Amino acid sequence: MATRDKICILGVRCKARVGVPEKERRRPQSIEIDAVLECDIRPAAKNDDFKAAVDYQNVERTVRSLAEGRPWRLIETLAEEIARALLRCDARILAVIVRAHKRPALMPLTRDVCVEIRRARRRASRRMD
């Protein structure tokens, strides 16, 4: 069975213009994004080599850039775009779980709405045993 190590980058705080009503998208609101990267960390860990590791800062920059770069009606769409971008940014990432959290403006008694998606590369991955 293939190794699926995970790198978790949790709680990337962003100021995003997100919401279905146009009024909600006018002003940035705080959202948080989690990214769980499925990859094989053994090459980096074996030699304690950061060059063989996924660049965490690049992942964070990618997430923040997408979230803050334009208005979004749905956090579902934002999560999809982040997942696609993360799979493109590093070939070592075999799959990604993205969670987008937001406090719903129209549901004041609800603390958080979260969308979670998992996306994987389309091509067959090689065995990593």
* Nearest to 92, CA basis, from 64, 48, 58: 58
Contact (Cβ atoms closer than 8 angstroms) between residue 118 and residue 93:
no
In this prediction the pTM is 0.89
pLDDT recorded at residue 1: 43
Q: Residue 118, exposed/middle/buried by CB under 10 A (0-12, 13-18, 19+)?
A: exposed
| Residue ranges in 30-74 assigned as alpha helix (H) | 42-47, 56-69
pLDDT reading at 55 higher than 60: yes
pLDDT of 17-51, one tens digit each? Answer: 999 989 889 999 999 999 999 999 999 999 999 99
Contact (Cβ atoms closer than 8 angstroms) between residue 85 and residue 96:
no
Question: Can you name the residues that pair with 97 across neighbouring β-strands?
Answer: 36, 118
* 52 CA to centre of own chain: 21
pLDDT recorded at residue 122: 81
List, in order, residues 6 or more apart from 90 with CB less than 8 Å away: 39, 54, 55, 58, 59
Contact (Cβ atoms closer than 8 angstroms) between residue 33 and residue 76:
no
What domains are defined for the chain?
5-120 (3.30.1130.10)
pLDDT of 85-128, one tens digit each? Answer: 999 999 999 999 999 999 887 788 999 999 999 999 986 545 44
